[in-house]
Amino acid sequence: MKPIIYDYTLEELRQWMLDNKQPTFRADQLFDWLYVKRVTSFEDMSNLPKMMREQLDDQFRFVALEEITRFESKDGTVKLLFGLHDQHAIETVVMRHNYGTSICVTTQVGCRIGCTFCASTLGGLKRNLTAGEIVAQVVTAQRMLDATNERISSIVIMGSGEPFENYDATLNFLKIMIHERGLNIGQRHITVSTSGIVPGMYKFADENTQINLALSIHAPNDELRSKLMPVNRRYPFDEVMDACRYYIAKTGRRISFEYALIGGVNDQPEHAEELAEVLTELLCHVNLIPVNHVPERKYVRTSRNEIFEFQRILEEKGVNVTIRREQGHDIAAACGQLRAKHMEKTTR
Ligand code: SF4
């Protein structure tokens, strides 16, 4: 199988040109066709010599994703289910906010982390996506938005998968997204969310970017976190918090802590008190996420009053906190559920 052209950073494309005895400015032209003009074939790249277009076509694949279904919510959220060349399917979500349009991308087919509130992990990990398969989610969605002159202005890596278990592809994806000659997404408008893969957190801190880091914390202590997120047994709570402190010290940037509120499990006042204690004096922000109902699990949603009470306790202790606004609720599905339904259908 030929590699996807979207797998390559501009520097790698320049190297490809040099290896093929071509001037490097050709790579810049190619990059422009891919990310600014967003054409769908090498044939369309009219300022590249015909022979080069043929050679590119010979060596690289252009199409990485095939749209299987699309659901549009009343609030403007669009959930896209894409098919890959090997019959796997992935989800991508486009969200419209009053401050711009964002996209949530997937980095793996399935996930092996096993968070108990998540549908993406139910069938385990199938495989990593390549950088190009992650990039293609953004380019394909941007092409869809081009029709209405909208521009993707922010990216969250919060779809299926653990990005730090697919580190190199995720990093190449980021390099391509932030390149000023391409889509040119501002680093501060990109967030990478991890379940707490400690070595990846240190490595990412050392990359010296301005990209935001989010940690799925979901519990205020080791014991409860291990119950909700088996990954906590591999990388215990205290080690994860040490990695957070390192990231903050190294980058000077605050961390977002994602906290999915699960009725009767981690949403009680004592949990809020304990969380506030852990986060006091950390440069951070807490996002409270009322958990989505996953039919395969028995979790229930936290009541509105309890959500506000949780928020109040954190704020009282000086912790910055917001409640995540839910989007696309009417088009079914927490993250991973669209794909789960599709898998059910195709394996029947
Ligand atoms: S929440 Fe993220 S890390 Fe956890 S199982 Fe789901 S996709 Fe994997």
**What confidence score (pLDDT) does residue 346 get?**
62
252, two tokens: 């000077």
Residue 173's nearest CA partner among 236, 230, 108, 265 is: 108
Q: What is the mean pLDDT of the chain?
A: 93
Q: What is the per-residue pLDDT across 269-291, written as a single tens digit (0 to 9) for each?
A: 999 999 999 998 899 999 999 88
- Residues 300-325 have a mean pLDDT of 94
Q: b/e per residue, 109-142, with b = 16+ CB within 10 A?
A: bbbebebbbbbbbbeebbebbbbbbbbbbbbbbb
CA 169, CA 172: separation in Å to the nearest integer? Answer: 5
In this structure, are 22 and 163 located in the same domain?
A: no
Is residue 268 one of the residues assigned to a domain?
Answer: yes
Query: pLDDT class for 324, splitting at 50, 70, 90?
Result: confident
111 in ligand 1 pocket by Cβ < 6 Å? yes
In this structure, are 184 and 97 located in the same domain?
A: yes
160 in ligand 1 pocket by Cβ < 6 Å? yes
Is residue 105 one of the residues assigned to a domain?
Answer: yes
Question: pLDDT > 90: what percent of the chain?
Answer: 84
**Among protein residues, the one whose CA lies closest to atom 6 of ligand 1:** 118
- Residues 31-40 have a mean pLDDT of 97
In this structure, are 55 and 120 located in the same domain?
A: no
- Say whether 229 sits in a helix, a strand or coil: coil
**What confidence score (pLDDT) does residue 300 get?**
86
pLDDT exceeds cutoff 80 at 310: yes
Q: Does 217 belong to an annotated binding site?
A: yes
194 in ligand 1 pocket by Cβ < 6 Å? no
**What confidence score (pLDDT) does residue 121 get?**
84
Residues 6+ apart with CB under 8 A from 213: 191, 192, 193, 194, 201, 204, 205, 247, 251, 253, 255, 256
In this structure, are 159 and 44 located in the same domain?
A: no
In this structure, are 196 and 154 located in the same domain?
A: yes
Is residue 158 one of the residues assigned to a domain?
Answer: yes
Q: How many domains would you assign to the chain? A: 2
Is residue 278 one of the residues assigned to a domain?
Answer: yes
231 in ligand 1 pocket by Cβ < 6 Å? no
- Residues 122-134 have a mean pLDDT of 95
Is residue 131 one of the residues assigned to a domain?
Answer: yes
pLDDT exceeds cutoff 90 at 343: no
**What confidence score (pLDDT) does residue 21 get?**
97
Inter-residue contact 32 to 162 (CB < 8 Å): no
In this structure, are 81 and 32 located in the same domain?
A: no
Query: Ligand 1 centre and the CA of 119: distance in Å?
Result: 8
In this structure, are 228 and 318 located in the same domain?
A: yes
> Tokens 């711009």 — which residue?
100
pLDDT exceeds cutoff 60 at 347: no
Domain residue limits at 27? 5-59
- Residues 109-137 have a mean pLDDT of 93
In this structure, are 14 and 149 located in the same domain?
A: no
pLDDT exceeds cutoff 80 at 241: yes
**What confidence score (pLDDT) does residue 334 get?**
55
Query: pLDDT class for 140, splitting at 50, 70, 90?
Result: very high
pLDDT exceeds cutoff 80 at 342: no
Is residue 68 one of the residues assigned to a domain?
Answer: no
Is residue 67 one of the residues assigned to a domain?
Answer: no
- Residues 18-29 have a mean pLDDT of 98
CA 262, CA 227: separation in Å to the nearest integer? Answer: 13
- Residues 322-344 have a mean pLDDT of 68
Q: What number does the ligand 1 atom closest to the CA of 159 have?
A: 7
Q: Is the whole model's pTM more than 0.85, yes or no? A: yes
Query: Ligand 1 centre and the CA of 163: distance in Å?
Result: 10
Q: How many CB atoms lie within 10 A of CB 36?
A: 12
Residue 281 CA to chain centroid, in angstroms? 27
Question: Could you tell which of 195, 294, 296 is best to mutate to test the pocket of ligand 1, judged by most ligand atoms within 8 Å of the CB?
Answer: 195
Q: What is the CATH number for 239?
A: 3.20.20.70
- Residues 30-47 have a mean pLDDT of 97
Q: What is the CATH number for 15?
A: 1.10.150.530
Query: Ligand 1 centre and the CA of 325: distance in Å?
Result: 20
In this structure, are 186 and 317 located in the same domain?
A: yes
In this structure, are 30 and 113 located in the same domain?
A: no
pLDDT exceeds cutoff 70 at 335: no
Is residue 318 one of the residues assigned to a domain?
Answer: yes
Query: Ligand 1 centre and the CA of 156: distance in Å?
Result: 14
Question: Helix, strand, coil proportions of the chain in percent (round to 5)?
Answer: 40, 20, 40
In this structure, are 329 and 222 located in the same domain?
A: yes
In this structure, are 210 and 317 located in the same domain?
A: yes
Catalytic residues: 91, 335
